[in-house]
């Protein structure tokens, strides 16, 4: 089936998936023990029952659950994510402000990781059994076993506190004005480097192993022998014939691992005090701010779905066998 139909089919599957996700998120939040009104008044606050009831009616909490779900869903589809229990600000606004940083961090980390992993992984596979291969593999194994947030702490300790080379928090130096956009960008970059590195280290390790094992397997395939028997240069055999095939599992993995990247990013954001979506999620979870939590979860879920779609499309582009499902 041609590409267009494939994309349409994928999009059609996303829609029920999305609704299922909203249902799961809603259910998860609303089956929590404890009264949501507690969140609004904060712990230890005492509220007379009439006032509490008033709040419940106002927020629609007295309706049966399915109705609440539909109301919320309806609002959601209209772009209204509700208002935070805690700050009373629009959830949508909160998310919009924060999402940029998270996406930036993730994209940077992901791209850098892929680049390094592919280059190193191909070389390691080609030079199988060499010192280079062995040392890279061991390094990758160590990197992959490292807790990313601990690595962030160590980086912070060494490069920020001790060496003072990099700032330790937030995404730009507060209070400074910059003479040119370039300076602003450079300052921003200084702030983002350590967080990105913490993510990249662990990610590259995992991707490296993936690329290397994919390449090793591809290099044993018959069509590689055929390519050589045609008289192609070894470099062409590896980078054209082998790599294309080896990247297939990598593409799949990268696309579907956006969720994992978020896991790492949330903690990194906390440590480096970066005002991103992950950090927001952590904050709101502590405060049991349900509308915010639901909104953030939906936002994240949408990002993941989009990423998955891109991964599916990328995979179909790269592997002609897939379109003929």
| Binding positions for another protein, rule: CB under 8 A | 17, 20-21, 24-25, 28-29, 31-34, 138, 141-142, 144-147, 149-150, 153-154, 156-157, 161, 221-223, 225-233, 241, 244-245, 256, 258-260, 262-263, 266-267, 270-271, 281-282, 285-286, 288, 293, 296-297, 300-301, 304-305, 308, 318-321, 324
Minimum separation from the CB atom of position 195 to another protein (A): 15
- Cβ nearer to another protein, comparing 16 with 48: 16
Tally of CB atoms within 10 A around 172: 16
- Cβ nearer to another protein, comparing 150 with 189: 150
What span, in angstroms and rounded, lies between the C-alpha atoms of 262 and 63? Answer: 34
Closest CA to 47 of 39, 32, 284, 29: 39
- Cβ nearer to another protein, comparing 20 with 185: 20
Counting beta carbons within 10 angstroms of the beta carbon of residue 120, is it exposed (0 to 12), middle (13 to 18) or buried (19 or more)? buried
- Cβ nearer to another protein, comparing 173 with 252: 252
Minimum separation from the CB atom of position 5 to another protein (A): 17
What DSSP string describes 11-40? HHHHHHHHHHHHHHHHHHHHTSSS-HHHHH
- Cβ nearer to another protein, comparing 61 with 184: 61
Minimum separation from the CB atom of position 187 to another protein (A): 22
The gap from C-alpha 13 to its chain's centroid, in whole angstroms, comes to 21
* Residue showing tokens 């980086």: 155
Token couple for 84 = 């935070």
What span, in angstroms and rounded, lies between the C-alpha atoms of 67 and 72? Answer: 8
Minimum separation from the CB atom of position 289 to another protein (A): 9
The gap from C-alpha 83 to its chain's centroid, in whole angstroms, comes to 25
Q: Are the CB atoms for 312 and 256 separated by under 8 Å?
A: no
Minimum separation from the CB atom of position 272 to another protein (A): 12
Minimum separation from the CB atom of position 53 to another protein (A): 22
Tally of CB atoms within 10 A around 195: 28
- Cβ nearer to another protein, comparing 21 with 192: 21
- Cβ nearer to another protein, comparing 138 with 185: 138
Using DSSP's 3-state secondary structure scheme, residue 126 falls into: helix
Minimum separation from the CB atom of position 308 to another protein (A): 6
CA dihedral in degrees (30, 34, 40, 45; nearest 10)?
A: 170
């Amino acid at each position: 089936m041609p590409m267009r139909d494939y994309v349409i089919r994928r999009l059609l599957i996303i829609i029920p998936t999305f609704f299922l996700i909203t249902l799961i998120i809603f259910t998860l939040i609303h089956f929590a023990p404890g009264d949501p009104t507690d969140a609004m008044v904060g712990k230890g606050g005492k509220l007379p029952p009439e006032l509490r009831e008033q709040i419940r009616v106002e927020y629609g909490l007295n309706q049966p659950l399915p109705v609440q779900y539909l109301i919320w869903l309806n609002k959601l589809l209209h772009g209204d994510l509700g208002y935070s229990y805690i700050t009373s600000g629009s959830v949508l606004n909160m998310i919009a402000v924060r999402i940029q940083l998270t996406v930036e961090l993730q994209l940077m980390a992901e791209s850098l990781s892929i680049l390094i992993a592919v280059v190193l992984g191909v070389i390691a596979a080609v030079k199988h059994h060499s010192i280079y291969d062995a040392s890279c593999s061991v390094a990758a194994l160590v990197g992959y076993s490292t807790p990313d947030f601990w690595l962030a702490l160590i980086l912070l300790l060494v490069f920020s506190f001790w060496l003072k080379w990099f700032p330790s928090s937030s995404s730009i130096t507060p209070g400074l004005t910059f003479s040119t956009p370039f300076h602003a960008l450079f300052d921003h970059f200084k702030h983002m480097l350590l967080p990105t590195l913490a993510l990249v280290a662990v990610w590259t390790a995992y991707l490296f192993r993936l690329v290397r094992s994919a390449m090793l397997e591809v290099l044993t395939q018959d069509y590689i022998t055929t390519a050589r028997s045609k008289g192609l240069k070894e470099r062409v055999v590896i980078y054209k014939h082998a790599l294309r095939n080896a990247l297939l599992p990598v593409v799949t993995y990268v696309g579907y691992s956006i969720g994992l990247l978020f896991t790492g990013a949330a903690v990194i954001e906390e440590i480096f005090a970066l005002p991103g979506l992950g950090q927001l999620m952590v904050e709101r979870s502590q405060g049991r701010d349900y509308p915010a939590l639901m909104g953030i979860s939906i936002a994240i879920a949408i990002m993941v779905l989009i990423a998955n779609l891109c991964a599916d499309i990328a995979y179909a582009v790269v592997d002609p066998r897939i379109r003929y499902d």
